Amino acid sequence: MKYLNIIKHTTLVVSVALLVASCTKVSAPEPMGDQGSLLVKLVGGGTTAAPGTLKNAIDFKPIPVTMVGADLQRAVPSNASLNTVMHVTVKDDTAAVHTANPALKILPAAWYTIGAGTPKTGGSGGTFNITIPAGEFAAPILITIPDATVLDPSTQYGLGFTITSVDGGGKISTINTTVFQVGAKNSYDGIYTVVSGNVQRYSAPGVPTTGDALNGSVGGNPDVVMSTFGAYTVYLNALAWHDQPNNGYVGGIDPVYTTVDPATNLTTSNSTTNLTLGNWAGHTNRYDPATKTFYLAIRWNPATTTREYEVVLKYKGPR
């Protein structure tokens, strides 16, 4: 997992070029003056009614990961403003988390630590006390999760941040609330290329449909996204029929859940939408960790309009 780089934002000084009548020399840039407002905002944020959300995914491993939970920034109207020390109070806003996404759980305080530069007072609903030094434009609130295995991979967690006060003549921007969303991803999570495969439909058990444009090869179909649902389970969305651009995606079975047995790398698939879906007996259902490739064969509606789907999915990259 790569750590998130902290980028110091800079503000361009607006200048007016003055031409001197007797020569072509251009005057030096001049600051825009104090006519603007000294605004403080949260980068990537939103309003309290519609918070911005910064999504993060970390590997389900017992190693420390540090991320930017919230990035505080000030836009200065003059050099004098920039060279002023500013103190900002940011609230641990639990209400903002549920406003952004009611499904998010509050990240337990015992599971993370705060960077020393932005100390927090109080527990849930407490405040972060932030100092922006003279000459600096930004101050990030760093969140470190020492051990991602405490997270439930099937759950997304959140922390809310809202600016509540500033000094030094500053004003709070309307972009004052952001939600830090984080979830642990397992080893199988990612985007997969459809290498090869085939789909066959039946009008009745043992009676293949004929002249059916949905039957045939699925190799080269659109990438499949596998998202973490547990330590060893992913869900697959939007498996496609043959000739997907014309015939679209398989309906009535999404999402398909696939679980890997870490001891054998054999896989088991099911669907909560169609309970008849399962492994296709006698066909390969396994994961190859050396090549990060899934070999899946699933079957559903075995007693009526049977569907058989076999596919090879190779890891392409993170989602």
Number of domains in the chain: 2
Residue 154 lies in a domain: yes
CATH assignment at residue 85: 2.60.40.1740
Alpha carbon distance 80, 84 (integer Å): 7
Shared domain for 50 and 155, answered yes or no, is yes
The residue among 137, 167, 185 that closes a domain is: 185
Select the more confidently predicted residue: 287 or 83: 287
The residue among 185, 209, 241 that closes a domain is: 185
Mean pLDDT across 273-295: 97
Shared domain for 223 and 307, answered yes or no, is yes
Residue with token string 């910064």: 54
Residues 6+ apart with CB under 8 A from 66: 3, 4, 115, 142, 143, 144
Residue (of 82, 159, 91) closest to 120 by Cα position: 91
Type of residue numbered 175: I
Shared domain for 118 and 198, answered yes or no, is no
Shared domain for 162 and 198, answered yes or no, is no
pLDDT beyond 50 at 113: yes
pLDDT beyond 50 at 258: yes
SS3 assignment, position 109: helix
Residue with token string 């993170």: 318
> What is the reported pLDDT for 32?
33
Shared domain for 158 and 232, answered yes or no, is no
> What is the reported pLDDT for 19?
27
Residue 313 lies in a domain: yes
Shared domain for 125 and 195, answered yes or no, is no
Residue 169 lies in a domain: yes
Residues 6+ apart with CB under 8 A from 70: 42, 45, 54, 90, 140, 141, 161, 178, 180
Tell me whether strands 256-260 and 224-228 are parallel, antiparallel or unpaired: unpaired
Residue 207 lies in a domain: yes
**pLDDT tens per residue, range 225-250:** 999 998 899 999 889 999 999 999 99
Shared domain for 105 and 124, answered yes or no, is yes
Mean pLDDT across 120-140: 91
Alpha carbon distance 76, 11 (integer Å): 8
Shared domain for 126 and 207, answered yes or no, is no
**Taking the alpha carbons of 245, 247, 251, 257 in that order, is the dihedral positive or negative?**
negative
Shared domain for 115 and 221, answered yes or no, is no
Residue with token string 């999504």: 55
Alpha carbon distance 221, 239 (integer Å): 9
Residue 33 lies in a domain: no
Shared domain for 117 and 249, answered yes or no, is no
Least confident of 23-27, 215-219, 293-297: 23-27
Instruction: Give the chain's mean pLDDT.
Output: 88
**pLDDT tens per residue, range 1-36:** 333 333 333 333 223 232 223 333 323 333 333 346
| Number of C-beta neighbours around residue 85 at 10 A | 12
Least confident of 15-19, 269-273, 298-302: 15-19
> What is the reported pLDDT for 122?
86
Residue (of 145, 146, 152, 61) closest to 105 by Cα position: 152
pLDDT beyond 50 at 89: yes
Tell me whether strands 171-172 and 39-42 are parallel, antiparallel or unpaired: parallel
Mean pLDDT across 108-135: 92
The residue among 127, 159, 185 that closes a domain is: 185
Tokens of 94: 């639990």
Residue 145 domain boundaries: 39-185
Instruction: Find out whether 247 and 241 touch, Cβ atoms under 8 Å.
Output: yes
Percent of the chain topping pLDDT 90 = 79
